[in-house]
């Protein structure tokens, strides 16, 4: 399968935040931010694999600064890593005050996706072609997160199995 570069799938989703996006404190609700992060990341994943792709996990969702109603928010998403059917997408969230021009780095997240065939089964995806030093750095960091996710999943399964064993005894 022919590989693809990060540039072939990256995207910027721009959204103006309106009053219905606010939480009780008057800032943009974190769930609204998460929705757009997932949408931008899914766009990247689906562009890369040219098929349906579903979110498997969200890692390191960091809210760094608030987003305010009325601001324009850019959700910058790009591919960091590919496996045989899975991929990691990084999303950087930046807000812009329309009146002052001030821009702030507000949030970031790493999301894992699996590509699906028409029957809903995992399918092979194109490998990611690494072009720059930054691409290589992001790949290595994504590999480390992937290893950590697998270790955590295994530990959680074992813990759940032990808990089930205690309740049936």
Q: Report whether pLDDT(105) > 60.
A: yes
Kindly report, residue by residue over 136-147, the tens digit of the pLDDT: 999 999 999 999
Q: Report whether pLDDT(118) > 90.
A: yes
Q: C-alpha distances in angstroms, 96 versus 74, 78, 84?
A: 8, 20, 37
Kindly report, residue by residue over 70-104, the tens digit of the pLDDT: 999 999 999 999 999 999 999 999 999 999 999 99
Q: Report whether pLDDT(168) > 70.
A: no
Q: How far apart are CA 2 and CA 120, in angstroms?
A: 23
Kindly report, residue by residue over 53-72, the tens digit of the pLDDT: 999 999 889 999 999 999 99
- pLDDT bracket for residue 167 (50, 70, 90): low
Q: How far apart are CA 133 and CA 144, in angstroms?
A: 17
pTM: 0.91
Helix (H) or strand (E) holding 20: none
- pLDDT bracket for residue 119 (50, 70, 90): very high
As a whole number of Å, the CA-based R_g of the chain is 18
Mean per-residue pLDDT of the chain: 95
- pLDDT bracket for residue 41 (50, 70, 90): very high
Express as a percent the part of the chain with pLDDT over 70: 98
Structure letter (DSSP) for residue 29? P
The CATH superfamily label for domain 4-168 reads Hotdog Thioesterase (3.10.129.10)
């Amino acid at each position: 399968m022919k590989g693809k570069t990060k540039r072939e799938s990256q995207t910027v989703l721009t959204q103006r935040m309106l009053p219905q996006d606010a939480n009780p404190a008057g800032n943009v609700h974190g769930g609204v931010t998460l929705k757009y992060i997932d949408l931008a990341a899914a766009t990247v994943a689906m562009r890369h694999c040219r098929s349906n792709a579903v979110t498997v996990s969200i890692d390191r969702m960091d809210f760094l600064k608030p987003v305010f109603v009325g601001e324009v928010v850019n959700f910058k998403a790009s591919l960091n890593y590919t496996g045989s059917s899975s991929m990691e997408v990084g999303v950087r969230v930046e807000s812009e005050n329309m009146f002052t021009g001030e821009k702030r780095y507000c949030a970031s997240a790493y999301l894992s996706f699996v590509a699906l065939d028409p029957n809903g089964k995992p399918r092979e995806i194109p490998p990611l072609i690494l072009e720059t030093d930054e691409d290589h750095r992001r790949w290595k960091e994504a590999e480390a997160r992937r290893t950590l996710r697998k270790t955590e999943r295994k530990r959680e399964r074992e813990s759940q199995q032990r808990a089930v064993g205690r309740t049936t005894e």
